[in-house]
Amino acid sequence: MGQTALFAHESRKARIARVLEHFYVISADEKHDQHFTHKVQEEISLYLQSIGYNIDVMHEFCDGCSVQYKSRNCYGDIAFSVGSFNYKTLIRNFFETSHAKGPQDAAGGLLKRQADLAILRGAVVIQSAKDLFQFAQNNLTETKSDKCQRRIFRYCESIDRSTARLYKPIPGIRSTHQVITHANTKHSKLQIRCLSCYECTNCIMGKISRCKNMHITGQTTFLQPEADGTLNGNTSLVAEEPSTVELIQEGIIISVIFGRVREFREIKFFRTRGGMIFAALCDDEDYDYYLVRADTSAFVLGKRTTDEWGTTWPQGTPVIRGHYYIKSGNNPLLNTLLCKHYALIPAVSVLYIIEGGKNKNKLKLNENDHLSILKVLEERDATI
């Protein structure tokens, strides 16, 4: 229903003081893509301008969700739009998978809990995103915390998607942890680093080429996002990225079986068997991929079937019946089997089979397997 942003800036009265504010954008638009993220960035920029606070260098910290922050379209968008936010430099940092849970999640959780309590007490009726915004605006702008000075709420009924923000594939996206763009850079080039640095003043001020820890972070590389279509509002020549279901129906997938890459352009079976654990393609903001324990080998559905997660697959779809794993605690490599509901996973969505993984209710994924799966996803992204 919305996004939460936390930002701190120096007070004009006391340069050593910093002001922490929670900024919420609530919308009835449920599609959280690069357009939504762009709108949130725009609202933050307008707010900072409204209080007379001019920003030269904006630092963003976010997770690696490919739909909102870390994809070819997201990279292209910040490269071409940094100037419209009135920043000279924009630096986006990516946490490791599932390592981004922090104050921004707590801020979003507070809003939801307060709304739930108000509804249970009969103090308010919330039936829409607009109702939630009105409740928050009337009751939650002031804080009792000595850390957070205020909460700012903005409402957007819908997100403008009339301008195509689509770009051609960029290799190696998933292995980068920092992307930098400058408003005065010719042709909107991006600087890419595998590691971020916040120990030297040069990096904090956006002067990445003068980093004092380059022996640790490595050299920066430059890339030029290429528009995949038009950027003048005419979207008739381009299309949104296909969904997982569309890819599966077309049978276009990149898969690794015990580390061997193969491309499938027609539906084929995998030699899966009961108890085998594999990674599968997914459309989920919180996961790069799903881990599944197979209950059966691949078989063809004899009729249109809905699994216990509510996903329906047409007759003739090759599927594997199994159970999903869910991440356990703060370690993104620890997983617990969800035994309650079974799922039907299309055979062509299998990305990687975990060698030696079998019949485990608790699974600690090998880091090499995790990196291999991410590499497969990069290969897949390059074909879309």
Does residue 233 have a pLDDT over 70? no
Residue 141: partners with Cβ closer than 8 Å, 6 or more residues away: 150, 151, 152, 153
Model pLDDT, residue 23: 92
In angstroms, rounded to a whole number, what is the distance separating the alpha carbons of residues 161 and 23? 22
Going from the C-alpha of 19 to that of each of 12, 110, 111, 257, the distances in angstroms are 10, 19, 20, 51
- What confidence tens digit (pLDDT) does each residue in 339-353 have? 888 999 888 888 888
Q: What is the pTM of this model?
A: 0.59
Report the run of H or E that residue 277 belongs to, with start and end.
strand 276-280
| Sheet arrangement for strand 2-10 | 2-10, 18-27, 148-156
**Any idea where the domains of the chain sit in the sequence?**
2-223, 244-383
Does residue 120 have a pLDDT over 60? yes
- Model confidence band, residue 323 (pLDDT cutoffs 50, 70, 90): very high
Model pLDDT, residue 17: 67
- Model confidence band, residue 299 (pLDDT cutoffs 50, 70, 90): confident
In terms of pLDDT, which residue wins out, 157 or 14?
157
Lookup: tokens for 195: 């590691």
The gap from C-alpha 207 to its chain's centroid, in whole angstroms, comes to 27
Model pLDDT, residue 65: 62
- What confidence tens digit (pLDDT) does each residue in 76-97 have? 888 878 888 888 899 988 876 5
- Model confidence band, residue 61 (pLDDT cutoffs 50, 70, 90): confident
Fill in the DSSP letter of residue 190. Answer: E
User: Taking Cα atoms as reference points, which of 234, 253, 60 lies closest to residue 162?
Assistant: 234
User: Taking Cα atoms as reference points, which of 181, 171, 220, 175 lies closest to residue 197?
Assistant: 220
CATH code linked to domain 244-383: 2.30.30
User: What is the pLDDT of the chain when averaged over all its residues?
Assistant: 75
In angstroms, rounded to a whole number, what is the distance separating the alpha carbons of residues 152 and 150? 7
- What confidence tens digit (pLDDT) does each residue in 142-154 have? 888 777 888 999 9
Residue 59: partners with Cβ closer than 8 Å, 6 or more residues away: 91, 93, 204
In angstroms, rounded to a whole number, what is the distance separating the alpha carbons of residues 38 and 165? 10
Q: Quick one: what percent of the chain has pLDDT higher than 90?
A: 14
Model pLDDT, residue 3: 52
User: Taking Cα atoms as reference points, which of 323, 329, 336, 333 lies closest to residue 370?
Assistant: 333
For 310: left if phi > 0, alpha if psi spans -120 to 50, otherwise beta; the answer is: left
